Amino acid sequence: MGAKGNTVLAAATLAMAALATVWPAAAEDSCSRMAVMRPEGIVEALNLFSPDVLGKPADLWGRADFENLLNHAAACDGKPEGMKYRVDAKFWEGQMNPAMERLLPFADRTAAVRAAYAPRWKWGDPPSCLQVLNWKRDPVWLTENSGEVFGKPLAEMDDEGRALAAGFSKECRPVMEAALQANRMDPSAALAIVNDVAAAAEREGEAAKEKPDDLAPALKVYHSGRQVPLAYIGKSSRKMVLIASGAEKAGRKLTTEELIMLSKWAEQIVMEETDSPERLYADAVRTVIGKHLFNAR
């Protein structure tokens, strides 16, 4: 779903190529710059919900932005005099007004969502709804780019912050669906992102409750320099790890029943997984089992 979102934003950004006219060296004022701009390119970028339309995401374009642009076109109408390319205010108006009517319902939605969440968004300004389309998550290691999307990683937020991030994504769904449709992509990807953000927020909330010393040292596992939370594995697997950890921390030997149960679980994980949080924990449990079997404490 992250890849789909990135494809949307990348495709929309291509529309801005239409604006890539090089300013003439002699253009020293704003009318000269506007004269060589193509309003069709701006309209295309807005219609495709580009993440950068003249410096801001399409869904952050409000009525005032359109009016300012058209007022500037009116002030520059027919200028610069004597030049091949001059501003045609009527043409600008004919291009921008329909684009404004199409976009404003979604821009208004983004503005309303941001306004509602801003008072509780304690680590900066809420993002645009289009920014949520950048969401990516590793399906194996469950790492994600929430810091890039929301301005702060879910793992570093408190419970309220994680709830805000999940709620914000949900409220932005109509804007994301419109952007996906505009780029001829499946709009259901928006709901998939919303659900994935909510699941990640819940998972990080569970991980936040864990303490560094909850597990015996032999059962702590790491990936990319970070201890992997128990919340990143299934509940049945957590139970197995906690049995092994409990015995280690208590300094007691695993019972025969525990050894059989843990061995079956670990071997099953090893058969199914090659590189994952569960595999790391299974390998750690197997090491503990070996110590107990050979009494190598």
The pLDDT tens digits of the residues spanning 284-297 come to 999 999 998 886 44
What is residue 3's predicted lDDT score, i.e. its pLDDT?
Answer: 52
How much is the average pLDDT of 38-48? 97
Q: How far apart are CA 178 and CA 11, in angstroms?
A: 14
Mean pLDDT computed over 13-25: 40
What are the boundaries of each domain within the chain?
1-209, 217-293
pLDDT-above-90 percentage for the chain: 85
Tokens of 81: 């005099």
Give the pLDDT mean for 258-269.
97
Give the distance, in angstroms, between the CA of residue 239 and the centroid of all CA atoms in the same chain: 31
| Cβ proximity of 174 and 103 under 8 Å | no
Q: What is the pLDDT of residue 8?
A: 52
Separation of alpha carbons 78 and 80, rounded Å? 6
Condensed to tens digits (0 to 9), the pLDDT of residues 106-148 reads 999 999 999 999 999 999 999 999 999 999 999 999 999 999 9
Residue 26 pLDDT greater than 50, yes or no: no
**pLDDT tens profile 271-284:** 998 899 999 999 99
**pLDDT score of 86 more than 50:** yes
pLDDT one-digit tens code per residue, 203-236: 999 999 999 889 999 999 999 999 999 999 999 9
Closest among 60, 168, 61 to 113, alpha carbons compared: 168
Please tell me the predicted confidence (pLDDT) of residue 23.
38
- Kindly calculate the radius of gyration of the chain based on its CA atoms and give it in whole angstroms: 27
Distance CA 297, CA 293 (A): 10
HSE of 211, CA atoms in CB hemisphere, 13 A: 3
The encoded tokens of residue 210 equal 């864990």
Phi, psi of 137 (to 5 degrees): -140, 135
Please name every residue paired with 226 in a beta bridge, in sequence order, or none if there are none: 223
* This prediction's pTM: 0.87
CA–CA separation, 154 vs 150, rounded Å? Answer: 8
Angstrom CA distances, 228 to 58, 135, 142, 207, 221, stand at 38, 21, 10, 9, 6
Report in angstroms the alpha-carbon separations of 237 from 116, 137, 223, 246. Answer: 40, 22, 18, 14
pLDDT at 97 over 60: yes
Per-residue confidence (pLDDT) for residue 251, from 0 to 100:
93
The whole-number average pLDDT for the span 53-57 is 96
C-alpha to C-alpha distance for 248 and 213, rounded to whole angstroms: 12
130 phi, psi to nearest 5 deg: -60, -30
Q: Which residue has the higher pLDDT, 2 or 183?
A: 183
Q: Taking 70 as the threshold, does the pLDDT of residue 6 lie above it?
A: no
- Does 13 score more than 50 pLDDT? no
